[in-house]
Structure 1
Amino acid sequence: MPLPAMPLPFVMVAPNGARRGKSDHPALPITLPEIIETARSCYAAGAHGLHLHIRDDQGAHSLDSGRYREALAELGRALPELLVQITTEAVGLFSVADQLACLAQVRPAWASIAVREIARDGGLAPQVYATCAEAGTRVQHIVYDPDDLALLHDWQSQGIIQPGQDDVLCVLGRYSQGQQSLPSDLAPFLAHLPPNGQKMLCAFGGQEHACLAAGAAHGFALRVGFENSLTNAQGTPHQDNAASVAALIALLQRTPA
């Protein structure tokens, strides 16, 4: 008797990130029209959400509030069913004050925030989280290792992180040349996760999909896309972000729950 179909986890696509460009892959979206077209194709392939990075006129990573508001409005018109999360990633370019200003001016429905970046100016941390709470912004905490989770727990116990701000994105690996994450890299996170909130996972390199399938078995939502990996396990580049999304979903459908 065939096993009953199991519901798939929440899948978010991260189509560009802050560091890659057309020289890395010609289908990596840079402009707003390219991002919208990528969002359309990824939604059709099965993605539920989009992790949004915007670029300036030169193609560099930006936290410009006007560009963010424009992108959110255009995506909302084009794909109202798609959930959109902005990034506050600093990439060595922006201060905590810049990140706070972005959150205050954009007031997004959803934002990702790396706890180790906010810790660069810990005195602003209470204002960052209070600003999100006042705006109704859902917060996803980016964590790279158990030390980041320990900082998250400490800020929660102090009341710096407010009730309901419990979501985490566990990142397997780093933004580095040749990074190859493995499913076993998930193990150090599992004993330290907060008890509440959504847990999401992303991973780098050719084993990205295998890492995400392992995360799905532990109840994680998944983030996939060209921000983290351009190729499949054999090293062959995906045609585009939608192809990566479709391949991940096909793998999840083949994988026993």
Structure 2
Amino acid sequence: MRCLPRLMVAPNGARRSQSDHPALPVTDAEILATAISCQEAGADGIHVHIRDVEGRHELDTGHYRAVLDQLCDTVPDMYVQVTSEAAGRYSGAEQRTIMQVLQPAYVSVALREMVREPQDWAQAQEFYEWATSSGVEIQHILYSPEDVQWFVRAIHEQRIPGTHHLILLVQGTYAHGSQGRAYLEDYLTELGKADGMSFDWMLCAFGQQETESLARAAQLGGKARVGFENSLWNMDGTLAKNNAERVREVDTAIKRAVQKTI
């Protein structure tokens, strides 16, 4: 059965730059160095965004292949996942085509971006079926309990094939951090309505409550994604020195949280 890494680092994302934090990795060399330091700090997976020469979010097959090859050589034991995020630059059709050409082992895909309008379902379903038949493992990004409802309905309707799915639940937003976030239990209640389905789920959380949220996810049987894509802050409110510091703190918090449940 397919499974996600225990602790994945998302070191840069599509939107933040070094003006937000000087240690946010932008160049390929910085991404590789961050992967090494985060693996040493406790991460067993990395969620990779690449940037163009101007530092902008990029989906480019040649560039991605070069970075993936370097990561395979540098951190061969890490689970390396690419993003298909649009970030305002790519259409759903472009996202699908780029991923079909790249054929990564692991990719994150937001349901909201694959199906922006009801008429997008035909192409989206073809993409999900292609991924299944090609051995490309999708981690489905769900931003709210309502997204989870939508996803569960789609798998029951067989628009998304399979009976076991990899999930990323998102708490909070770029704009508002953890303010107004939904309860994790509300997401899980909706997942529990998927009869005959199993899920390997992971949480990412925006804002200064990232560590607390990820520790809670571990207590409930989930996995964690941590890093500067979602938060620059440690649990005590201080600005983290780098991604490895965030990984180290969350790794410790998760181990403590799980120990309490034993």
TM-score by length of 2: 0.90
Distance 1:146 1:184 in 2: 8
In 2 relative to 1, CA 254–157 (structure 1 residues): closer, same or farther, beyond 3 Å? closer
Q: How many residues align?
A: 248
Structure 2 residue aligned with 1:217 = 219
Correspondence for 2:45 among 45, 49, 70:
49
Greater shift, 32-41 or 162-171, is seen at: 162-171
Instruction: Map Cα deviations across residues 61-120 of structure 1 (whole Å, 9 max, x no partner).
Output: 111111111111110011110010111111121111111112111101111110011111
* Residues 82 and 108, structure 2, Cα contact 8 Å, conserved in 1: yes
Correspondence for 1:242 among 235, 241, 244:
244
The runs of at least 4 consecutive aligned structure 1 residues that moved more than 6 Å come to none
1:111-126 counterparts in 2 under 5 A? Answer: 111-120=107-116, 121-126=120-125
Greater shift, 82-91 or 142-151, is seen at: 142-151
1:34-183 counterparts in 2 under 5 A? Answer: 34-120=30-116, 121-164=120-163, 166-176=165-175, 178-180=176-178
Question: What SS is found at the alignment partner of 1:236?
Answer: coil
* Residues 16 and 28, structure 1, Cα contact 8 Å, conserved in 2: yes
Distance 1:251 1:99 in 2: 35
Deviation at 1:23, TM superposition (A): 0.3
Letter in 2 for 1:189: Y
Deviation at 1:182, TM superposition (A): 8.1
Deviation at 1:133, TM superposition (A): 1.6
Question: What SS is found at the alignment partner of 1:192?
Answer: helix
* Residues 172 and 181, structure 1, Cα contact 8 Å, conserved in 2: no
Distance 1:181 1:42 in 2: 27
Letter in 2 for 1:167: L
RMSD: 1.6
Distance 1:250 1:165 in 2: 29
TM-score by length of 1: 0.92
Greater shift, 188-197 or 110-119, is seen at: 188-197
Greater shift, 141-150 or 13-22, is seen at: 141-150
Q: Which runs of 5+ in 1 are unaligned?
A: 1-8
* Residues 56 and 62, structure 1, Cα contact 8 Å, conserved in 2: yes
Distance 1:89 1:73 in 2: 21
In 2 relative to 1, CA 40–213 (structure 1 residues): closer, same or farther, beyond 3 Å? same
Q: Which runs of 5+ in 2 are unaligned?
A: none
Deviation at 1:159, TM superposition (A): 1.9
Correspondence for 2:28 among 15, 18, 32:
32
Instruction: Map Cα deviations across residues 231-255 of structure 1 (whole Å, 9 max, x no partner).
Output: 1133211110001000111222333
Correspondence for 1:252 among 251, 254, 260:
254
Question: What SS is found at the alignment partner of 1:197?
Answer: strand
Letter in 2 for 1:206: Q
Distance 1:127 1:94 in 2: 19
Deviation at 1:167, TM superposition (A): 1.2
Structure 2 residue aligned with 1:5 = none
* Residues 183 and 214, structure 1, Cα contact 8 Å, conserved in 2: no
Distance 1:128 1:65 in 2: 17
